[in-house]
Amino acid sequence: MKNRSLLYIWAALVVIVLVSILSLNRQGFTMIGQSFSESEHVRWGMEEFYSKIGPAKLNPVNIEEAKKQITISDEEIEEHRTRYGSLSNQLEDIHGQYVDRIEEAKNEKNEIVRKALIEERDMKIEDIKMNFKDDAHIEAKIRQEKEQSLTQYLNEVKSSTHSLPIAYELINADTGELFSSGDVLVPSIYKKQFNSAKGYLKAHSLPGQNNDEWTTYYAYGNNAINEDNINAMANPVQSFEGTVIIPKTAVEKGGVLYPQYKDFNRGKYALYTFWLLSALALIVLFTVLKFRKEWVTGTDYDARYATLKIDIKVIGMLATALILFMYVDSASSSVVNLLQYPRLGRIGSSFIGFILFGVLPTALLAFQIVHATERWKKKEAIEADIKNSYAIQFLKALQTMFLRKSIGSQTFILLIGFFLAGVGFIGMFMDPMLFVIYCLCVLFFALPISFIFVRRAAYLNKIIIATEAMATGRLNEEIKIEGKSPLADHARNLNNLREGVRSSMSEQAKSERLKTELITNVSHDLRTPLTSIITYTDLLKDETITPEDRAKYVDILDKKSQRLKTLIEDLFEVSKMASGNLELHRQRVDLTQLLQQALAEHADDIDQSGLDFRTDIPEEMLTAYVDGQRWWRVLDNLIVNAIKYSLTGTRVYVTLRKTGDTAEFIVKNITKYELGENVDELFERFKRADTSRHTDGSGLGLAISQSIVDMHGGTMKIELDGDLFKVTVTVPVK
Please, what is the average pLDDT of the chain? 80
Q: What is the pLDDT of residue 239?
A: 94
Instruction: Write down the pLDDT at residue 482.
Output: 73
Select the more confidently predicted residue: 533 or 360. Answer: 360
Least Cα distance to 313 among 443, 434, 437, 428 occurs for: 443
DSSP 713: T
Of the listed ranges 164-168, 218-222, 624-628, 684-688, the least confidently predicted one is 218-222
Let me know: does 672 contact 594? Beta carbons within 8 Å: no
Confidence of residue 293 (pLDDT cuts 50, 70, 90): confident
Type of residue numbered 267:
G
Determine the pLDDT at residue 471. Answer: 73
Cβ atoms 682, 653 nearer than 8 A:
no
Query: What was the pLDDT predicted at 524?
Result: 54
Q: Which CATH architecture has domain 516-577?
A: Orthogonal Bundle (1.10)
Q: For residues 535 and 133, which has the higher predicted lDDT (pLDDT)? A: 133
The one-character DSSP state at 341 is S
pLDDT at 550: 81
Give the contacts of 311 (CB within 8 A, at least 6 positions apart).
389, 390, 391
> Looking at the domain that runs over 584-732, which CATH code has it been given?
3.30.565.10
Ranked by mean pLDDT, the top range of 22-36, 170-184, 194-208 is: 170-184
pLDDT at 490 over 90: no
Alpha carbon of 224 to those of 68, 227, 229: distances in Å?
A: 15, 9, 10
Residue 48 or residue 686, greater confidence: 48
Which of 113-117, 199-203, 268-272, 501-505 comes out lowest in average pLDDT? 501-505
Neighbours of 687 (CB within 10 A): 17
DSSP secondary structure of 45-62: HHHHHHHHHIIIIISPPP
Per the CB < 8 A criterion, the answer to whether 112 and 74 are in contact is: no
Give the residue, 572 or 321, on which the prediction is more confident.
321
Per-residue pLDDT band for 693 (boundaries 50, 70, 90) equals very low
In terms of average pLDDT, the best of 250-259, 458-467, 494-503 is 250-259
- Whole-number percent of the chain with pLDDT over 90: 25
Query: What's the whole-number mean pLDDT along residues 379-401?
Result: 75
Residue 123 has pLDDT above 90, yes or no: yes
pLDDT of residue 616: 92
Q: What is the largest CA-CA distance in the chain?
A: 152
Instruction: Read off the pLDDT of each residue in 151-164 and give the average, rounded to a whole number.
Output: 83
Compute the distance between CA of residue 199 and CA of residue 216 in angstroms, rounded to an integer.
31
What per-residue confidence (pLDDT) applies to 107? 92
Least confident residue range of 167-181, 191-205, 396-410, 683-697: 683-697
Q: What is the DSSP string of 391-450?
A: HHHHHHHHHHHTTSHHHHHHHHHHHHHHHHSSTHHHHTTT-HHHHHHHHHHIIIIIHHHH
Looking at per-residue confidence, does 448 or 123 come out higher?
Answer: 123
pLDDT of 419 > 50? The answer is yes
Q: Which amino acid is at 544?
A: T
678-688 per-position pLDDT tens digit:
555 554 443 44
Q: How far apart are alpha carbons 146 and 218 in whole angstroms?
A: 10
Residue 657 contacts residue 618 (beta carbons within 8 Å): yes
Res 694 pLDDT > 50: no
Nearest to 49 by CA among 168, 189, 198, 137: 168
* Residue 511: per-residue pLDDT: 54
pLDDT-derived band at 734 (thresholds 50, 70, 90) equals confident
CA 339 – CA 527 distance, rounded (Å):
112
8 Å CB contact between 16 and 278: yes
β-pairing verdict for 651-659 and 715-721: unpaired
Round to whole Å and give the CA distance between 208 and 42: 20
The residue among 227, 228, 156, 237 whose CA lies nearest residue 204 is: 237
Region at 401 (left for phi over 0; alpha for psi -120 to 50; beta for the rest): alpha
Handedness of CA 124, 125, 129, 132 (dihedral sign): positive
> What are the domain boundaries of the chain?
2-31+260-387, 74-143, 390-505, 516-577, 584-732
What is the C-alpha to C-alpha distance for residues 636 and 25, in angstroms, rounded to an integer?
82
508 vs 468, 497, 653, CA distance in Å? 21, 17, 40
Do 635 and 595 contact (CB within 8 A), yes or no?
Answer: yes
> Which stretch, 310-319, 427-436, 549-558, has highest mean pLDDT?
310-319
Coil vs helix vs strand at 465: helix
**pLDDT > 60? residue 692:** no
Q: What Cα–Cα distance (Å) separates residue 658 from each residue in 549, 626, 715?
A: 54, 15, 14
What confidence tens digit (pLDDT) does each residue in 428-451 have? 566 666 666 667 676 666 666 677
| Closest C-alpha to 550, from 531, 529, 528, 558 | 558
Determine the average pLDDT of the residues in 252-258: 89
Percent of the chain with pLDDT over 70: 79
CB 387 within 8 Å of CB 447: no
| b/e sequence 518-534, b meaning 16+ C-beta within 10 Å | eeebbeebbebbeebbe
CB 311 within 8 Å of CB 317: no
pLDDT given for residue 3 in this prediction: 76
* One-letter amino acid for residue 637 of the chain: N
Please give the single-letter amino acid code of residue 711: M
Three-state SS string over 205-272 comes to CCCCHHHCCCCCEECHHHCEECHHHHHHHCCCCEEEEEEEEEEHHHCCCCCCCHHHHHHHHHHHHHHH
Is the pLDDT at 689 greater than 60? The verdict is: no
Q: Is the pLDDT confidence value at 146 over 70?
A: yes
Cα Rg of the chain, angstroms: 49
Query: What is the spatial distance between Cα 349 and Cα 354, in angstroms, rounded to a whole number?
Result: 9
Express each pLDDT in 133-145 by its tens digit.
Answer: 999 999 999 888 8
Q: Where are the alpha helices (DSSP H) in 541-656?
A: 547-579, 591-601, 603-609, 628-645
- The span from the CA of 722 to the CA of 547, in Å, is 50
